[in-house]
Structure 1
Amino acid sequence: MGAAIFFWSNALDQGFTRDDHCGLPEAFRQADLPALAAREGTPLYVYAAPAIRQRVRALREALSGLDAGIRYAVKANGNGAVLRLLAEEGAGADIVSGGELERALRAGIAAADIVFSGVGKSDAEIALALDVGIGRFNIESRAELDAIQRIAAARGVTAVASVRINPDVDAMTHAKISTGKAENKFGVSIAEARAWFDAKAQWPDVRLDGLHMHIGSQLLSLDPVREALARMAAFWKELAAAGHAIASIDVGGGLGVRYREGEQAPDAREYADAIRQALAGFGGRILVEPGRWLVAEAGIVLTRVLLEKHGQARRFLVLDAAMNDLLRPSLYDAWHDIVPLGAAAARESATYDVVGPVCETGDTFATARELPRCEAGDLVAILGAGAYGASMGSTYNSRPLPAEVLVDGDRYAVVRRRQSLDEMLSGEQPASDWRRT
């Protein structure tokens, strides 16, 4: 691993506080990022373990007094080392595929602490989840309910399940990450869910005793959450009055984070208080599914400037990171703070379109962004990249996947090595083995 190059201040207790001097989150302020980039190459994902621990502990403390469990949304960042860190802190997992189930299990998360969400579970995935003893399915359609019944009956087991209701609440977030409106593909209406509970004898091998919701991601206001919780609570009370025992209410996730100046992210205590108020009197288990809120601000991408290009109307800063490494700006028009490091930080400012080398106009991290003037070879940090960064990466343009490192105290570890070209191409072969269809 080499000599340690990281030193952390006691200010880590403040979590993701920004250092106004250099623009980096507190967790990265005293890290020798240029030395790390020189050693491990760029683009490079860097995650701060203490910052992740601080977030999960803050949420656990906020939920104290409730019979509540944290089910981390693996899709946000499925790196095995990150999952192991969260497992050590007592978090379970919210998964949406068989692959994420395997990741969670290999990281030491107990099957009983895993919930399986998602609108399109295959028979093979359902069977795997039943075989390992998954804690709960979040069911999103009648077809899925029928499939789970069929597969559970064939195995002689009982599946435990919650109905994901679609509360038809506008989460006031980006259209592509809104999941709780009637026109979205997720969940079922309260009317349909009511019919399932009334007819649950039709599915004798499915114990239907829970409710679930998730209205969207990157929520910066708790108002939609409160509205959705109120509808969930009213439905729970209606079902209880009708004689249906509800053992679990899963309130989903979606808490937003600060990506840019002026954004105010929800506070864990305010969120927990909203849950307490809405579900007062509920005697079962409450589950929460945070993803982004736990890891986004604990990750950065280190990348080098390849060149500065003066176009006819724009000034471009071309980085060695691209949309295949960090897709959010291209996919969602998402803002990420960009911080030049080293000598560049003290130079006069310039206005850039910050782009990558991929052959797509959409390969753009920022437009008309005012930054210190940069030169070829300068190191730049893209902030807020711990969630939906590496997990959404691809090898588009035949670009191997970047390395990922985890820093903790005075040490760091490579938690995913940089993919080689040979590794990227290893599954391909010439068309020499022809077979009849």
Structure 2
Amino acid sequence: MTIPPAALQTAAERFGTPLYVYDAAELDAALLRVRAAFGAARVYYAMKANPNLTLLRRLHAAGVGFECVSPGELARAEVVGASGAQILVNGPAKSDAEYAAGARLGATFIVDREEEVALLPPQSQALVRVNPALAVSTHDHLATGAAGSKFGITLQQAPRVLEALRAAGHTALGLHVHIGSAIRDAHDFTAAFGRLSELREETGPLAVLDAGGGWGLDADLHGIAREAWAAATAFGAELWVEPGRYLVARAGTLLTRVVGTKRTGRNFCLVDAGMTELLRPMLYGAAHPVTPLWDGPETADWDIAGPACESGDLLARDISLPQPRRGELLAIGEAGAYGAAMSSTYLTRSRPAEALYEPGRHSGADWTPIRRRETPQDVWAAEI
């Protein structure tokens, strides 16, 4: 956690809880780490990790492009000023709206299946997404490069699809590979790039190799970058990368207040945030660091439980805490990715506010609100 506890207390008092807060300095530092490792590679942010417009504007101003997987994400990219080579359109089941918006913006399409060639707008630029059929070190739901995944085409299909793109009048830029998210073992990337090298003789030189993202937060980026550049160089290609979670996860913290405690078969610390604010623990079994913002001797191991009527509504298990007291704050770390992005209004819960920490940016104020808290009326506003 990079934001001082006193500043977190201030944010909670000002904006209420649950609350997503982001550290601008950590966001900038993560991008610097990527650029230091990957050098001249073109960087596209996988917007699905966190689509807040303030964060997108900051990344766009830093020269980062966007990988989009829905009409809404394309609309966000356009709103912050991105166009043309700054936008990639990805996804296994693109809609007509996505093809139309991508064509209007001059985006590059990532072809995910052979039949998609016939669906592309005339004279499109495209990459072909290849599935290397690997077992990788992440949760099954995050393993997009596994043989049973819905993503990409087979290695055997790739040369044929590249040729089909050219025959249809499109620009076949090259290949794309993204094997998953939160990958723990860097050797998985080495294996994926090695599989791509099998295509070199059949494809000939390519303009672009898009190596995707998915690096674990503690990954050896320089090692991965060396392997990616070696693969790109073998094709004579420019290297593109698509970090998402890596750029924003550690910049974000979910603040939640203790509601009370309960001792049954286990010790529960009850809080005002849960699966509607941070779904990853329930969806992927993800473990997020938990920091209590109060002092005292550690009393026991606690499960951090949210308010939803779901047994799986747990933010963490077996966390050693000082005796929890009603009103105290917990900081759930690494929540900048897929926290707000996956938040929901299940149980007609209003989605939280979001705030950016940037000390010294504004006179007398370290915090900038970047999303207001929803009201119940906001939640049902579209209902008839």
The reply to whether residue 226 of structure 1 matches residue 186 of structure 2 is no
Tell me, yes or no, if the aligned pair for 1:226 and 1:278 is still in contact at 8 Å.
no
- In structure 2, do the counterparts of structure 1 residues 31 and 213 end up closer, same or farther at CA, with 3 Å as the change threshold? farther
- Tell me the equivalent position of 1:114: 87
Kindly state the Cα deviation for residue 43 of structure 1 after the two structures are TM-superposed.
0.2
How far is the alpha carbon of 1:326 from its aligned partner? 0.6
Does residue 314 (structure 1) correspond to residue 266 (structure 2)? The answer is yes
**Mapping of 1:113-192 within 5 angstroms?**
113-134=86-107, 136-148=108-120, 152-153=121-122, 158-192=123-157
For 1:391, what is the secondary structure of its paired residue? coil
1:346-375 deviations in Å (ceiling 9; x for gaps): 233222121101111111112232222211
Contact 1:318 1:356 in 2 (8 A): yes
Give a deviation string over 1:119-166, Cα, whole Å, max 9, x none: 0100121011101111x1110012222111xxx24xxxx100011010
Q: Aligned equivalents of 1:271 and 1:31: distance in 2?
A: 37
Match of 1:338 among 259, 278, 290: 290
Structure 2 counterpart of 1:101: 74
- Seen in structure 2, the aligned counterparts of structure 1 residues 395 and 239 have a Cα distance that, compared at 3 Å, is same
**What displacement does 1:237 show?**
4.3
- Structure 2 equivalent of residue 371 of structure 1: 321
Q: Highest Rg: 1 or 2?
A: 1
The AA in structure 2 aligned to 1:341 is L
Is contact 2:200–2:234 with CA below 8 Å preserved after alignment? Answer: no
In structure 1, give the amino acid aligned to 2:8: L
Provide TM-score, normalisation by structure 2.
0.95
CA distance in 1, matches of 2:11, 2:163: 59
Query: Structure 2: which amino acid aligns with 1:412?
Result: W
- Give a deviation string over 1:232-279, Cα, whole Å, max 9, x none: 233134311xxxx5211101110112xxxxxxx113222212222333
SS of 1:28's partner is coil
* One-letter amino acid of the counterpart of residue 113, structure 1: Q
Q: How far apart in 1 are the matches of 2:166 and 2:216?
A: 39
Per the TM alignment, residue 333 of structure 1 is displaced from its structure 2 partner at its CA by 1.2
2:158 is the counterpart of 1:193: yes
Q: Is the 8 A contact 2:166 2:172 kept in 1?
A: no
Shift in Å at residue 168 of structure 1?
Answer: 0.8
* One of 23, 28, 44 as aligned partner of 1:48: 23
Match of 1:288 in 2: 241
| Structure 1 pair 288–235 and aligned structure 2 pair: CA distance change class (3 A) | same
Alignment partner, residue 32 of structure 1 = 7
Aligned equivalents of 1:366, 1:113: Cα separation in 2: 38
Runs of 5+ in structure 1 lacking a partner?
1-24, 258-264, 430-437
Unaligned runs of 5+ in 2: 361-365
Aligned amino acid, residue 80 of structure 1: L
Amino acid at match of 2:367: Y
**Greater shift after overlay, 381-390 or 81-90?**
81-90
Kept in 2, the 8 Å contact 1:256–1:266? The answer is: yes
Structure 1 residues 198 and 32: CA distance shift in structure 2, 3 A: closer
The Cα offsets for residues 16-37 of structure 1, whole Å up to 9 and x where unpaired, read as xxxxxxxxx2x21365211210
Q: Report if aligned partners of 2:208, 2:232 keep a CA contact under 8 Å in 1.
A: no
* Alignment partner, residue 381 of structure 1: 331
User: How many corresponding residue pairs?
Assistant: 379
Distance 2:222 2:335 in 1: 24
Choose which of 32, 44, 57 in structure 2 pairs with 1:57. Answer: 32
Please give the per-residue CA displacement for 1:278-328, whole angstroms capped at 9, x wherever unaligned. 3334433211000111110110000000111122x2121110001011100
The corresponding residue for 1:267 is 220
| C-alpha contact 2:302 2:319 (8 A) present in aligned 1 | yes
State the match for 1:75 in structure 2: 48
Secondary structure at the counterpart of residue 191 of structure 1 = coil
Query: 1:378–1:353: structure 2 CA closer, same or farther, 3 Å change rule?
Result: same
Tell me, in whole angstroms, the C-alpha distance in 1 between the residues paired with 2:339 and 2:200.
36
After superposition, the CA RMSD in angstroms is 1.5
Residue in 2 aligned with 1:432? Answer: none
Q: Deviations over 1:100-124 (max 9, x none)?
A: 1111221233332111111010012
Determine the C-alpha separation between the residues in 2 that align with 1:52 and 1:361.
34
Which letter maps to 1:72?
Y
SS of corresponding position for 1:357: coil
